[in-house]
């Protein structure tokens, strides 16, 4: 493993927390969350152990795609506050050791963006080439992102008598990234938010960004655009993180890191996430083992971001049709719980039937996987989806702070809320932050412990991975080794107890082993062999260090 300046690679050991300003906390009673509410919530986030907040789009928008249809990349939606409020949140978060990254959504704009409004008035508009136009609809133009909602990726514009391209919704015309003027605009957008204090960007849907005719050079290398973005980001900020949404198999993701890490710094691991749910359904660790072993060995200091749920459907597109049907049958038996033939519109707690054992197992696994964990707001409480909200919005209901009206999210009348609060068994009277904080046995406190242990165990973010075979098909054992020490995690995905014997590398002989989630401490004998008994859905976190080596904080 190469060493690097960890000051510039802070994200290698980060705990990410994704939230939507609009649904997190409302302070002015207008029914929408706001930046002032976010600032008021800093203590909560810091106590949870989060050290990087990823903000979903908060820019001015018609809100036809939950804010991803943007009309001003430099603005703040008036319902959420203003630039002063945003800057105050970023500054306050930084003072508590929490960095902030924001969504960079440059695949497209809203069709109400001033650029597109000008572009569609005349073929001679200076903004015309900001977008992609054709006289005739190209063949093979079906929409593969939102099948059933959009038939084509080309939409007829009557005034200028041409088709414009939209990879996503028709109200989101694709930007022409091959146009130097567009790329200059993107650089200015990044510079603006970096100057305001953000620590990086989550880049939306990167493969689509580079695969359409408006990529920087349709006959050359479209990755040059990402390299250009990386060079600009590094010039402006040595700490700037470029984290990409790349839902591809591991082998194909390598290209998006680039040679000598000259593209993305980190990518979400969709392959491992999907294999995790297949392993959960089968109570068999083998799909997960295969996924982890398929991660390419990377010499450069790039990283993976692990997640179980996010703001979109739980996508299963990398599984075979048979495997996908297995997961659907177990976790989304109602067709209304499915989306686009590939995903599940549910949060994790309802998927796992609210079973505390399985939830703790899932989060223990998430925080122990090599890389950085990402939580979606409310996961730490066991929040459920709101099936009354159509589509992906079901996962984006308001944060539940108290058992009171609107879950303490807002003082507005329920009818005024931009998004309704979840009701039923996962409603705020049963699931909320106040009650969870007061209960030392709650999921919140468990996730909090995992966050602190993850941040104080550098092997998880920096170590070299070895997946260890066992005789128990339901048990995953993985070892992460680094100059700091060695971290061993064992997870029993089955509903029956298991006993496994693990052969560890010889260099760990004689080392002190600390149970990071319990009181046990012992010394490895000369065989460097461990026999572990795991209850149903049980797990262990063990760290082997030299007798005079560093220990995690709190031990």
86-120, pLDDT tens digit by residue?
A: 999 999 999 999 999 999 999 999 999 999 999 99
| Cα-trace Rg, the chain | 24
pLDDT tops 90 at residue 551? no
Mapped onto helix, strand or coil, the DSSP state of residue 293 is: helix
Helix 356-368 × helix 443-455 angle, to 10°: 10
Helix 180-196 × helix 83-95 angle, to 10°: 60
Token pair listed for 433: 């932050």
According to the model, what pLDDT value does residue 218 have? 61
Residues 6+ apart with CB under 8 A from 546: 485, 511, 512
- Burial environment of residue 34 by CB neighbours within 10 A (0 to 12, 13 to 18, 19 or more): buried
What are the φ/ψ torsions at residue 95 (nearest 5 degrees)?
-65, -20
pLDDT tops 60 at residue 290? yes
Share of the chain above pLDDT 70, in %: 96
**Model pLDDT for residues 55-88, shown as the tens digit of each residue:** 999 999 999 999 999 999 999 999 999 999 999 9
pLDDT tops 60 at residue 354? yes
According to the model, what pLDDT value does residue 300 have? 74
In this structure, are strands 464-468 and 475-482 parallel, antiparallel, or unpaired? antiparallel
According to the model, what pLDDT value does residue 211 have? 82
pLDDT tops 60 at residue 121? yes
| Mean pLDDT of the region 377-402 | 97
pLDDT tops 70 at residue 550? no
**Model pLDDT for residues 142-200, shown as the tens digit of each residue:** 998 998 889 999 999 999 999 999 999 999 999 999 999 999 999 999 999 999 999 99
pTM for the structure as a whole: 0.96
pLDDT band at 213 (very low <50, low <70, confident <90, very high): confident
Q: Are 53 and 42 in contact (CB under 8 A)?
A: no
Question: Residue-wise over 177-215: b if at least 16 C-beta within 10 A, else e?
Answer: bbbeebbebbbebbeebbeebbbbbbbbbbbbbbebebb
- Residues belonging to the active site: 204, 245
| Mean pLDDT of the region 528-533 | 90
pLDDT tops 50 at residue 133? yes
pLDDT tops 90 at residue 527? no
| Mean pLDDT of the region 245-273 | 95
Q: What is the average pLDDT value for the chain, to the nearest integer?
A: 94
| Mean pLDDT of the region 14-31 | 98
More confident residue, 477 or 553: 477
pLDDT tops 50 at residue 371? yes
According to the model, what pLDDT value does residue 215 have? 67
| Mean pLDDT of the region 215-230 | 81
pLDDT band at 509 (very low <50, low <70, confident <90, very high): confident
**Model pLDDT for residues 415-427, shown as the tens digit of each residue:** 999 999 999 999 9
pLDDT band at 3 (very low <50, low <70, confident <90, very high): very low
According to the model, what pLDDT value does residue 510 have? 87
Q: How far apart are CA 388 and CA 170, in angstroms?
A: 25
| Mean pLDDT of the region 528-537 | 94
Token pair listed for 466: 């070895």
pLDDT tops 80 at residue 40? yes
| Mean pLDDT of the region 509-532 | 90
**Model pLDDT for residues 237-253, shown as the tens digit of each residue:** 999 999 999 999 999 99
pLDDT band at 219 (very low <50, low <70, confident <90, very high): low
pLDDT tops 80 at residue 363? yes
The DSSP result for 477-533, as a single string, is EEEEEETTEEEEEEEE-SSS-EEEEEE--GGGTT-EEEETTSS-EEE--TT-EEEEE
pLDDT band at 217 (very low <50, low <70, confident <90, very high): low
Residue 138 is given by DSSP the state: P
pLDDT tops 90 at residue 301? no
- Burial environment of residue 106 by CB neighbours within 10 A (0 to 12, 13 to 18, 19 or more): buried
| Mean pLDDT of the region 334-358 | 97
According to the model, what pLDDT value does residue 212 have? 72
| Mean pLDDT of the region 461-469 | 95
Strand partners, 354: none
Q: How far apart are CA 499 and CA 530, in angstroms?
A: 10
**Lowest-confidence pick of 42-51, 207-216, 418-427:** 207-216
pLDDT tops 90 at residue 221? no
| Mean pLDDT of the region 347-351 | 98
């Amino acid at each position: 493993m190469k060493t690097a300046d960890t000051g510039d690679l802070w994200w290698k050991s980060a705990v990410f927390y994704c939230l939507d300003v609009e649904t997190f906390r409302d302070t002015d009673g207008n029914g929408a969350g706001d930046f002032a509410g976010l600032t008021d919530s800093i203590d909560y986030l810091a106590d949870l152990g989060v050290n990087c907040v990823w903000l979903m789009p908060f820019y001015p928008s018609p809100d036809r795609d939950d804010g991803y249809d943007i009309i001003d990349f430099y603005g703040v939606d008036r319902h959420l506050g203003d630039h002063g409020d945003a800057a105050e949140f970023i500054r306050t978060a930084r003072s508590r050791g929490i960095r902030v990254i924001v969504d960079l959504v440059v695949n497209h704009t809203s069709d109400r963006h001033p650029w597109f409004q000008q572009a569609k008035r005349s073929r001679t508009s200076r903004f015309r080439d900001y977008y992609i136009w054709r006289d005739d609809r190209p063949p093979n133009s079906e929409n593969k992102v939102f099948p059933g909602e959009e038939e084509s990726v080309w939409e007829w514009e009557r005034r200028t008598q041409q088709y414009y391209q939209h990879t996503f919704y028709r109200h989101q015309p694709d930007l022409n990234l091959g146009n130097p003027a567009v790329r200059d605009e993107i650089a200015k957008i990044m510079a603006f938010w970096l100057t305001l204090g953000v620590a990086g960007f989550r880049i939306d849907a990167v493969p689509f960004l580079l695969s359409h005719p408006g990529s920087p050079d349709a006959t050359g290398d479209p990755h040059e655009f990402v390299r250009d973005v990386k060079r600009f980001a590094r010039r402006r900020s040595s700490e700037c993180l470029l984290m990409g949404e790349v839902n591809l198999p591991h082998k194909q993701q390598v290209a998006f890191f680039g040679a000598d890490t000259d593209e993305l710094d980190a990518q979400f691991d969709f392959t491992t996430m999907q294999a995790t749910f297949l392993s959960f359904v089968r109570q068999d660790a083998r799909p997960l083992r295969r996924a982890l072993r398929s991660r390419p060995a990377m010499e450069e200091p790039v990283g993976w971001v692990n997640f179980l749920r996010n703001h979109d459907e739980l996508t299963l597109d990398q599984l075979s049709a048979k495997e996908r049907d297995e997961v659907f049958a177990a976790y989304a038996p109602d067709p209304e719980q499915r989306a686009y033939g590939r995903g599940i519109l549910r949060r994790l707690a309802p998927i796992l039937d609210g079973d505390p054992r399985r939830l703790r197992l899932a989060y223990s696994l998430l925080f122990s996987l090599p890389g950085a964990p990402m939580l979606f707001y409310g996961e730490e409480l066991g929040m459920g989806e709101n099936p009354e909200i159509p589509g992906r919005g079901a996962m984006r209901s308001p944060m539940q702070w108290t058992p009171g009206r609107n879950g303490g999210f807002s003082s507005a009348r329920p009818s005024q809320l931009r998004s309704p609060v979840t009701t039923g068994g996962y409603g705020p009277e049963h699931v909320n932050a106040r009650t969870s904080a007061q209960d030392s046995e709650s999921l919140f406190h468990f996730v909090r412990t995992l966050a602190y242990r993850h941040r104080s165990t550098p092997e998880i973010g920096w170590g070299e991975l070895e997946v260890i075979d066992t005789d128990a098909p339901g048990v995953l054992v993985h070892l992460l080794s680094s100059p700091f020490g060695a971290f061993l995690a064992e997870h029993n995905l089955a509903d029956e107890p298991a006993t496994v014997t693990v052969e560890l590398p010889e260099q760990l002989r004689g080392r002190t082993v600390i149970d990071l989630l319990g009181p046990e401490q012992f010394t490895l004998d000369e065989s460097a062999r461990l026999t572990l008994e795991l209850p149903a859905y049980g797990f262990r976190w063990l760290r082997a260090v030299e007798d005079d080596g560093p220990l995690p904080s709190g031990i």
